[in-house]
Amino acid sequence: MDLFFYVERDSPVHRLHPVTKLILLGGLCTIALVLRSPPPLLAFFVVILLATIATGGLGNVRRVLVFLLLAGTSALLLWTLVGGGPTPLFLWMSREGLRRGVVAALRIDSFILAGVLFLSTTRNEEIVQGLLRIGLPYPVCFAFSTALRLAPSFIGTGLAVREAQRARGLDPDAGSLAARLRANIPLLVPTFLTTIRMTNHLAMSLEARGFGLQKQRTSLLVTHFGGGDLFVLLLLAALLAGAITSA
Amino acid sequence: MIDPVLAYEAVRFRYAGGHRSALEEVTLALAAGETVVLLGASGSGKSTLCLAANGLVPHFLKGEFSGRVLVGGRDTREHQPRTFAPFVGVIFQDFESQLFCTTAELEAAFGPENLGLPREEIRRRVDEALARTGLSGLARRMPATLSGGQKQRLVLAAALTAYPQVLVLDEPTSDLDPRGKAEVHAVARALSSGRQATALLIAEPEAEEAAQADRVVIMRGGRIARSGPPGEVLTRLDELSAAGIPPPAAAAITGHLGLPVTIDPGEAAARITAAGYRVRATPHQATPAAAGAAAILAARGLSFSYPGGPPVLDRVDLEIQAGELVAILGQNGSGKSTLAKLLAGLLPTPADAVLIGGRCAREIPRAEAGRRVGFVFQNPDHQIFAETVDAEIAFGPRLQGLDTAAVRERVEEALAAVGLLERRSADPFLLSKGERQRVAVASVLATRPEALILDEPTTGLDHAEVRETMALVERLNRGGHAVVIITHAMWVAAEYAHRIVVMSGGRVIADGPPRSVFHDAATLAAAAIKAPEAAVIARRLGSDAVSVEGLLGALARD
């Protein structure tokens, strides 16, 4: 089972410099924050969606689909509840509240999708390089990328533990909510302990392979700042300026 | 010796909180290009010795340390372990946790990147190391998608790119199938004789590969009990036995017959023949399966693939009867574990291809399937969660809804079966790996399954622990349980199983008693598995025995 987001492709987005991709991620999120009316936000959302699909991230979009729907719906409902306005529409909803809800939902889903686009096109090692280039210390960058990497192995361990407990007759999905919560203890304890043990081995392995030995670390990955990067940054700046003036 | 590349001088070490020393006055030196194999039981100090080679002991794993370890003349106490990265590569037993990059080539580049080498140099070293370990075609693959043997070779490649003078490998092949083992050992041998003449220190639980080493070191209770050339050390049967190391089959057989002891199978056969021994016909034991009885577990034309994946099983037919002890052998990825999980009803089965107790596995609820077929997973740590051994074992029976008295009875019975009555109040996490494995077996036994499936029950255990675990499996089997074990340990299959099922590419390619399977050269080659050494000697003598005892029983003097 593939638990990573990165998709091996040679798309124009993949070829961008990691720093450009980081700026792109930040820029896309800023635009989503700045836009305040539903139509341009919807158009913006669709653009990111198409970009993600075009760069090979359709599988990843499917993986986060439930999450997108959940986050979108809850943002929508919450804002219709608290973002009241003078024009009643339906039951508790006001026209203004609904509009705010739609904006919030599109905004949060744009954030998620921008993240998916970034992770689908950027290797862990590139993220580290990008963060290094913008001035973060190496151990901090490495900790960040290790966290990204540990997530899949954590899930992998969790699945193995679940299988082992099911073999003993445990059915983690049966019964009331309380019963299901109780059934999770035999899953959580071994998962956490196995992960802690693994992290310890990982730390020893890093040390044994000379991690932190040199202040200036070199890299096998070649990253060029090219015409594509310049184009994307200029386009992003133009979009951002447009979004700010229109808002 | 001229300038050892790695030297231990009177090293003593006791882990913080440990009640006895892990290392006692260990003195050992390795010269360039030398291969030293460390043999010893669990707790003999092998791993600690490995971890002291670059100062992880005592910098990372703390405790009382005395004496000194010199790497290229530099004292490990005075420098951080990372400073030794260019000189000594240390590879731990658990290879999964040593892979953390997103492609094989980036994994191999991690070390030289830390050393700050120029990119062209890193590229050159990465390509070279991947070629040496046979991974050139897999440079862009994600490490998680590699097979066990490939992962282990990648860990090796990642250490090689630092161009170390010494490589320390702690049980580098214990999780691997026979082909994976052979691949790793071939790479290691090529290194020591190669241009760089890397010195190798390899810790192993069994003597299998030790005969090829320049020197064998026996460890016992943290001390070096014996050190010398393989032919000298591995023929001292009493000393090996005292250290808990199984002797090579050739040595065991010649020693038992009172002949001059040798570790070479061909030489052993020659000595046995010269001493006037002949093979006599022995009546073969019948398989204890009740003829005509309904199978407890059955697969009928079973094909299977994981969602979106390639086919894993291809029209498998298999029946397991009550009272049978069956070993399933085959390479990693041959479909063994998937077949076992399907037989236990742990995976959704296609139509009526799997029957448990004559009923379609699909129609049996999870709790009931768990009662009928017990499944012990390879890693006991994936299931142990309770604070005491008692509570851990009681978990299964409680899930079955039994009352307190009945649960009590089941726990007693299971504790007695695995010999852990005295450790019942212990915290399972403080037990040894062998004991934790037994807790896992007991917790499954307490559900009183009719059939028991064990996935690699002996991995990571030393010889005495393997013997204990297998004696337990044998007792359970005699008590009426049908037992299926998946294993890479050929001698375990040869000695304990009534029947051997060989899998290759998702198919069953052989199914029969060990005597026929282990003497069927075509099957062994097709599945890339190796007959146990005792079977190799037996064949030279014209016997179909597969174990040391079996062969000894078949020999008679003129």
8 Å CB contact between B57 and B66? no
Residue labelled with tokens 């080539």: B105
Rounded to an integer, what distance in angstroms lies between the CA atom of residue A155 and that of residue A173? Answer: 17
Residue among A149, A202, A213 whose CB faces B114 most closely = A213
Rounded to an integer, what distance in angstroms lies between the CA atom of residue B447 and that of residue B411? Answer: 9
Q: What is the DSSP letter of B374?
A: E
Q: For residue A209, list chain B residues with Cβ-Cβ distance below 8 A.
A: 85, 89, 110-111, 114, 158-159, 162
Exposed / middle / buried, residue B531 (Cβ in 10 Å: 0-12, 13-18, 19+): buried
Please report the DSSP string for A25-76 in residue order: HHHHHHHHHH--SHHHHHHHHHHHHHHHHHTT-HHHHHHHHHHHHHHHHHHH
Examine residue B365 and say whether the peptide bond preceding it is cis (omega within 30 degrees of 0).
no
Q: What is the pLDDT of residue B111?
A: 95
Q: Output phi, psi for A210, to 5 deg.
A: 85, 20
Q: What is the per-residue pLDDT across B489-530, written as a single tens digit (0 to 9) for each? A: 899 999 999 999 999 999 999 999 999 999 999 999 999 888
Q: Cβ contact (<8 Å) for B377 and A186? A: no
Q: What is the DSSP letter of A65?
A: H
Average pLDDT (B297-319) is: 90
Q: Which region among A238-242, B110-114, B445-449 has the lowest average model confidence (pLDDT)?
A: B445-449
Q: What's the length of chain B?
A: 558
Residue labelled with tokens 């001698």: B491
Rounded to an integer, what distance in angstroms lies between the CA atom of residue B262 and that of residue A104? Answer: 79
Q: How far is A171 from chain B (nearest CA, A)?
A: 7
Rounded to an integer, what distance in angstroms lies between the CA atom of residue B246 and that of residue B491? Answer: 11
Q: Which of A1, A182, A209 to mutate to test the interface with B (most CBs of B within 10 A)?
A: A209
Beta strands in B334-410 (DSSP E): 354-356, 359-360, 373-376
Chain A contacts in chain B segment 359-418 (CB below 8 A): 366-367, 370-371, 374-375, 377, 379, 381-385, 395-396, 399-400
8 Å CB contact between A235 and A29? no
8 Å CB contact between B469 and B461? yes
Q: Which of B54, B82, B122, B175 to mutate to test the interface with A (most CBs of A within 10 A)?
A: B82
Q: What is the per-residue pLDDT across B206-238, written as a single tens digit (0 to 9) for each? A: 887 888 899 999 999 999 999 999 999 999 999
Q: What is the DSSP letter of B346?
A: -
Q: Cβ contact (<8 Å) for A161 and B383? A: yes
Neighbours of A139 (CB within 10 A): 10
Average pLDDT (B171-199) is: 80
Exposed / middle / buried, residue A42 (Cβ in 10 Å: 0-12, 13-18, 19+): middle
Q: Side-chain half-sphere of B159: how many Cα atoms within 13 Å?
A: 30
| Complex-level ipTM beyond the 0.90 threshold | no
Q: How far is B438 from chain A (nearest CA, A)?
A: 15
Percent of chain B with pLDDT over 70: 97
Report residue B265's pLDDT band, with 50, 70 and 90 as the boundaries.
very high
Q: What is the per-residue pLDDT across A45-62, written as a single tens digit (0 to 9) for each? A: 999 999 999 999 999 999
Q: What is the DSSP letter of B337?
A: H
Q: What is the pLDDT of residue B291?
A: 53
Q: What is the pLDDT of residue A2?
A: 53
pLDDT tens for chain A, 247 residues: list them.
Answer: 455 788 888 899 999 999 999 999 999 999 999 998 999 999 999 999 999 999 999 999 998 999 999 999 999 988 888 777 777 777 777 888 888 899 999 999 999 999 999 999 998 888 888 888 888 887 788 788 778 777 777 888 888 888 888 888 787 777 777 877 777 888 888 888 888 888 888 889 989 999 888 877 888 988 888 899 999 999 999 999 999 888 6
C-alpha dist (Å) from residue A40 to A35, A103, A108, A118, B443: 7, 10, 15, 22, 60
Q: What is the pLDDT of residue A235?
A: 94
Rounded to an integer, what distance in angstroms lies between the CA atom of residue B492 and that of residue B489? Answer: 5
Q: What is the pLDDT of residue A213?
A: 86
Report residue B147's pLDDT band, with 50, 70 and 90 as the boundaries.
confident
Q: Cβ contact (<8 Å) for B60 and A165? A: no
Distance of CA B235 to the CA centre of its chain: 23
Q: What is the pLDDT of residue B457?
A: 84
Q: How far is B76 from chain A (nearest CA, A)?
A: 12
Q: What is the pLDDT of residue B289?
A: 54
Report residue B285's pLDDT band, with 50, 70 and 90 as the boundaries.
low
**Does B107 contact chain A (CB < 8 Å)?**
no
Q: What is the per-residue pLDDT across A7-32, written as a single tens digit (0 to 9) for each? A: 888 899 999 999 999 999 999 999 99
The tokens describing A15, both together, are 């070829």
Rounded to an integer, what distance in angstroms lies between the CA atom of residue B35 and that of residue B38? Answer: 10
**Does B170 contact chain A (CB < 8 Å)?**
no
Rounded to an integer, what distance in angstroms lies between the CA atom of residue A132 and that of residue B437? Answer: 45
Q: How far is B374 from chain A (nearest CA, A)?
A: 7
Q: Cβ contact (<8 Å) for B82 and A210? A: yes
Q: What is the pLDDT of residue B251?
A: 96
Q: For residue A171, list chain B residues with Cβ-Cβ distance below 8 A.
A: 366-367
Q: Cβ contact (<8 Å) for B98 and A169? A: no
Q: How far is B289 from chain A (nearest CA, A)?
A: 25
Please report the DSSP string for B107-147 in residue order: HHHHHHHHTT--HHHHHHHHHHHHHHTT-GGGTTS-GGGS-
Cβ neighbours of residue A147 closer than 8 Å, sequence gap 6 or more: none
List strands edge to edge, sheet with B215-220: B88-91, B166-170, B199-204, B35-39, B215-220, B223-228
Cβ neighbours of residue B153 closer than 8 Å, sequence gap 6 or more: B133, B134, B135, B183, B184, B187
Decide the pairing of beta strands B451-455 and B373-376. Answer: parallel
Decide the pairing of beta strands B359-360 and B277-279. Answer: unpaired
Residue of B336, B259, B353 whose CA lies nearest to B299 = B353
B359 - beta bridge partners?
Answer: B356
Rounded to an integer, what distance in angstroms lies between the CA atom of residue A175 and that of residue B549? Answer: 53
Q: Is B207 helix (H, G, I), strand (E, B) or coil?
A: coil
CA angle B83, B87, B90 (to 5 degrees): 85
Q: Cβ contact (<8 Å) for B106 and A221? A: yes
Q: For residue A219, list chain B residues with Cβ-Cβ distance below 8 A.
A: 109, 113, 119
Q: Is the pLDDT of residue B190 over 90?
A: no
Rounded to an integer, what distance in angstroms lies between the CA atom of residue B344 and that of residue B366? Answer: 10
Please report the DSSP string for B279-319 in residue order: E---PPPPP-SPTTPPPSEEEEEEEEE-TTS-EEEEEEEEE
Decide the pairing of beta strands B297-305 and B311-320. Answer: antiparallel
Rounded to an integer, what distance in angstroms lies between the CA atom of residue B215 and that of residue A65? Answer: 59
8 Å CB contact between B278 and B328? no
Q: What is the pLDDT of residue B86?
A: 93
Residue among B80, B123, B382 whose CB faces A194 most closely = B382
Q: What is the pLDDT of residue A73?
A: 93
Q: What is the per-residue pLDDT across B70-92, written as a single tens digit (0 to 9) for each? A: 998 899 999 999 999 999 999 98
Neighbours of B77 (CB within 10 A): 13
Q: Where are the alpha helices (DSSP H) in A122-137?
A: 124-133
Q: Output phi, psi for B101, to 5 deg.
A: -100, 175
Average pLDDT (B418-430) is: 87
Cβ neighbours of residue B464 closer than 8 Å, sequence gap 6 or more: B41, B244
Q: Which of B60, B71, B110, B436 to mutate to test the interface with A (most CBs of A within 10 A)?
A: B110
Average pLDDT (B132-144) is: 88
